């Protein structure tokens, strides 16, 4: 297959296109949902308003308030004076790995992640809304309260081992993030009345939940930007796909045309040779001057090594194994000229 390379590129490109396309569709849906989501103040009217809704539920709303733990807050593991309500700890390994063509490239891999949460509300004055499943938010702005990078001290053995395995550890990074109590955040999600209180949770219709320090407009701008850059990727991938399809089609068309032309030329040559031969053939032949197979055309071909001149060219094209006179194996055939 002479367009194998193009096909491989096309396959990869289509894959990227599908991924970006899906991402774009998702971002467009999220943008629209967020744009339409009402921003409601947390006050005494919020509960009243919610009770009037069908199922006492609002599918997608934006609320703002400050984070307040229900009960005791979490203490940071690394700096215990800091308290919060959501906590994640990640241990990341930094390493260099041998990539294509023998180059070493840096990469990171999370080797351990853990999280913790306590129930909390976001509060405005006397009123508040409980946040459920905050850790599953698609965007979760937390403060980094601790970060430490420890370079690995490698022994000679580790170096030699790394040379063979293609992976060498550079260091370990520990990061602790916390959603601090008291921080003022925007929460986006599904709002409902539960046991007399209000709670916000990840929407059941698949829209993303957000817990962010950004305002609704900033968040919307960020989503719009991501949407535009994804659209650009989709357009670029689409163009590349179209160009590749064009190249492949042209190659296939050219090859087919070449094959057709060659066949035509071969047929023409064959035809003109047959014509020429039939013009040159003498007509009044004796019995022994005629081909032993068709008994019509003159003898024109010698079978070797037996040396019998016994076939016309047409019959010689079909007979390849044994001489029709002596049954000897035919090794080659040649044109014979009888003067």
What is the binding site for Zn ion (CB under 5 A)?
Answer: 291, 293-294, 297, 306, 308, 312, 315, 323, 325-326, 328
Smallest gap, in angstroms, from Cβ of residue 324 to Zn ion? Answer: 8
Q: Report phi then psi at 173, rounded to 5.
A: -120, 125
Smallest gap, in angstroms, from Cβ of residue 305 to Zn ion? Answer: 9
Q: Which is nearer to Zn ion, 57 or 333 (CB)?
A: 333
Smallest gap, in angstroms, from Cβ of residue 292 to Zn ion? Answer: 8
Torsion of CA 301, 307, 310, 311, to 10 degrees: -30
Structure tokens at 332: 């080659």
**CA dihedral over 232, 237, 243, 246, signed as positive or negative:** negative
Q: Which is nearer to Zn ion, 234 or 302 (CB)?
A: 302
Q: Which is nearer to Zn ion, 2 or 288 (CB)?
A: 288
Q: How far is the C-alpha of 37 from the C-alpha of 209, rounded, in Å?
A: 12
Length of the chain, in residues: 339
Q: Which is nearer to Zn ion, 28 or 277 (CB)?
A: 277
Smallest gap, in angstroms, from Cβ of residue 314 to Zn ion? Answer: 6
Q: Report phi then psi at 185, rounded to 5.
A: -130, 165
Using DSSP bridges, classify how beta strands 210-212 and 139-140 pair: parallel, antiparallel or unpaired.
parallel
> Which stretches within 86-215 are classed as H helix?
156-165
Smallest gap, in angstroms, from Cβ of residue 279 to Zn ion? Answer: 17
Q: How far is the C-alpha of 81 from the C-alpha of 75, rounded, in Å?
A: 7
Smallest gap, in angstroms, from Cβ of residue 313 to Zn ion? Answer: 8
Q: Any residues with CB less than 8 A from the CB of 107 and at least 6 apart, and which?
A: 94, 95, 96, 97
Q: Which is nearer to Zn ion, 179 or 303 (CB)?
A: 303
Q: Which is nearer to Zn ion, 19 or 319 (CB)?
A: 319
User: Any bridge partners for residue 192, and if so which?
Assistant: 57, 199
Distance of CA 10 to the CA centre of its chain: 11
Q: Which is nearer to Zn ion, 215 or 289 (CB)?
A: 289
Smallest gap, in angstroms, from Cβ of residue 299 to Zn ion? Answer: 8
């Amino acid at each position: 297959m002479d367009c194998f390379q193009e096909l491989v590129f096309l396959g990869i490109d289509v894959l990227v296109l599908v991924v970006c396309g899906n991402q774009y569709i998702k971002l467009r849906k999220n943008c629209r949902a967020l744009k339409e989501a009402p921003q409601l103040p947390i006050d005494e009217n919020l509960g009243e308003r919610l009770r009037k809704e069908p199922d006492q539920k609002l599918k997608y709303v934006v609320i703002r308030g400050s984070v307040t733990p229900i009960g005791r807050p979490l203490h940071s593991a690394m700096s215990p004076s800091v308290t919060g309500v959501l906590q994640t700890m990640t241990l990341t390994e930094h390493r260099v790995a041998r990539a294509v063509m023998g180059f070493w490239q840096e990469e990171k891999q999370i080797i351990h992640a853990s999280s913790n949460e306590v129930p909390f509300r976001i509060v405005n004055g006397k009123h508040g809304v409980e946040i459920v499943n905050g850790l599953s938010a698609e965007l979760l702005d937390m403060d980094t309260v601790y970060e430490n990078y420890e370079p690995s001290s490698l022994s000679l053995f580790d170096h030699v081992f790394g040379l063979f395995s293609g992976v060498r550890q550079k260091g370990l990074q520990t990061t602790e993030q916390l959603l601090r109590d008291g921080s003022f955040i925007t929460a986006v999600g599904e709002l409902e009345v539960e046991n007399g209180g209000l709670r916000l949770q990840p929407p059941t219709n698949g829209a993303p939940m957000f817990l962010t320090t950004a305002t609704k407009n900033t968040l919307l701008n960020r989503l719009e930007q991501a949407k535009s850059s994804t659209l650009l990727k989709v357009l670029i991938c689409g163009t590349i796909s179209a160009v590749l399809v064009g190249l492949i089609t042209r190659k296939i068309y050219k090859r087919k045309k070449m094959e057709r032309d060659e066949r035509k030329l071969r047929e023409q040559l064959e035809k003109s040779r047959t014509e020429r031969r039939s013009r040159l053939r003498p007509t009044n032949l004796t019995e022994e001057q005629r081909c032993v197979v068709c008994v019509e055309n003159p003898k024109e071909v010698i079978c070797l090594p037996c040396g019998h001149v016994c076939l016309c060219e047409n019959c010689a094209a079909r007979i390849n194994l044994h001489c029709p006179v002596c049954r000897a194996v035919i090794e080659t055939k040649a044109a014979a000229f009888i003067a």
